[in-house]
Structure 1
Amino acid sequence: MRWRIKANLAQLAGLLLAAALLGGCGADYGPDQHGNPVSAKTLDKQWLVVNYWAVWCGPCRREIPELNALSQSLQGQGVSVVGVNFDNLQGDELKAAASTLGIDFTVLAQDPAPRFDLPRSQALPVTFIIDAQGKLRDQLMGEQTAAGIEARLATLQGGER
């Protein structure tokens, strides 16, 4: 009887571990800058360009038009541009900040760093490129251009676009 209890406990432990590991998969991304939910099915299984910005960051302000253009040019190509406010603004503050900077792409209110195991940057702006399997492929420091990010994506994707 003891071995049955141990076997059942081992099975239970395995199931709990599997549930914990899979728990993050497919979980939604929380609200965007407008308070609308961002579902996992809209962002998972595609490449992501994740840009961290702040209102007080001059280079961030200058690169927003480039990221807006990039987001437009990548529509329908399996790549999404998303922003994250470095100062963790929420609700109306996040909406106002995104509006002030003229951000047209989705801004996530919840930081996706834990989901993708992204390092915390000490400088801004910083842009991460994440592949369709959710693996970090590159970290781009400083102000970026749409053309530069597109070229980097093409290299990382090996011409699959």
Structure 2
Amino acid sequence: MNDANQVLLALDNQSNIQLSGDAKKLTEGYVVKGSKDSESLQQLGRAMIRSKHDMAMLEMRYNNSAQAGQSDSMKLIEAKFYAAQAQNTGVLKQLIRQNPNSVVSAFAVGNLLNPEEQFAFIDSIATQLKKTLPDSRYTKALAVKLDPLRATAVGSAAPEISLPSPDGKPVALSSLRGKYVLIDFWASWCGPCRKENPNVVRAYNKFKGKGFEIYSVSFDQDREKWLKAIQTDGLVWTHVSDLRGWESAAGQTYGVKAIPQSVLLDPQGRIVAKNLRGDALEAKLASVLK
């Protein structure tokens, strides 16, 4: 047994679990009987293996296209990546729905789904688990993870932000009320952020005259690098930063743990979507800005 040759089991101190398979290749086609939770874990494991393989293949194709300078192919592969990601999330959610009162579901929703993107679903499962498995450490950990996200869940009123702009004057998020506003958390040193910026620029140019604005919050600490990135990437919208990096007041308010991250607000300041990127951002804006 080692890291590459192992299986996960769920032990409840009651079931008589029978595990069979090739000891040298245990992960390949093992059979588990006597524990519904362990059978669920097996299904979960198989889904994760397929997902990891699919994503790795798409990432390899994307990198090859990037090296060859094939921008059209990169866009197609990126779209397939997001589609595969959505499909894999759907598979996980279906497995969880089939076993809403299982410790496996508590483990899965807490560790395998993105709480930012799947808050409503995860919250519904967490509510059920509080009734059926209140003492489970997974249920308790899930509550700790979800509580800070409630303030920025889809449908909630967006917390206020007021930080200095490049000229030093504070600009409040609420000053843009009346338009759809994308709060864009980024930094000049963040590679994925800089790669996403052309998509954000394209969306801004397409919808800026139709009631759409962007409020970019930088996690920079170096003012000059921040301003240079704004100019280099052509980001001609509202920018703010307290230049405190990961200690950004806005980042802490919104629970930002990784960037790029974005939050879309409606004209009344309510959160309507989170982490829309590339074509998904344009599609959402096209649907709300008819």
- Conserved in 2, the CA contact under 8 Å of 1:84 and 1:109? yes
* Equivalent residue number for residue 261 of structure 2: 126
The correspondence of residues 1-150 of structure 1 with structure 2, limited to 5 A, is 29-35=162-168, 38=171, 43-87=176-220, 89=221, 91-109=223-241, 113=250, 119-140=254-275, 144-145=277-278, 147-150=279-282
CA–CA separation in structure 2 for the residues paired with 1:70 and 1:128: 14
1:149 partner letter:
L
Question: What TM-score comes out, normalization by structure 1 length?
Answer: 0.61
Gaps of 5+ in 1: 1-26
How much does 1:30 deviate? 4.7
SS of equivalent residue, structure 1 residue 75: helix
Q: Deviations over 1:94-152 (max 9, x none)?
A: 323423444232212357849xx9632212111110111111111117xx21x321212
Q: Which has the higher contact order (CA 8 A, sep 6+)?
A: 1
**Change in CA separation of 1:70 and 1:96 when aligned onto 2, cut-off 3 Å:** same
Aligned residues: 126
1:131 partner letter:
D
Greater helix content: 2
The farther-off stretch of 103-112 and 71-80 is 103-112
CA–CA separation in structure 1 for the residues paired with 2:226 and 2:168: 9
Q: Deviations over 1:54-93 (max 9, x none)?
A: 2222110111111112111112211102211124x47545
How much does 1:49 deviate? 0.8
CA–CA separation in structure 1 for the residues paired with 2:161 and 2:193: 26
RMSD (CA atoms): 3.2
Instruction: Please identify the structure whose Cα radius of gyration is greater.
Output: 2
Greater strand content: 1
- Conserved in 2, the CA contact under 8 Å of 1:118 and 1:136? no
**Change in CA separation of 1:81 and 1:93 when aligned onto 2, cut-off 3 Å:** same
Q: Deviations over 1:9-45 (max 9, x none)?
A: xxxxxxxxxxxxxxxxxx9945423446647785112
1:32 partner letter:
S
CA–CA separation in structure 2 for the residues paired with 1:105 and 1:41: 15
1:133 partner letter:
Q
Question: What TM-score comes out, normalization by structure 2 length?
Answer: 0.36
* Equivalent residue number for residue 20 of structure 1: none
CA–CA separation in structure 1 for the residues paired with 2:249 and 2:284: 21
2:199 partner letter:
E
Q: Once the two structures are aligned, what percentage of the paired residues are identical?
A: 27
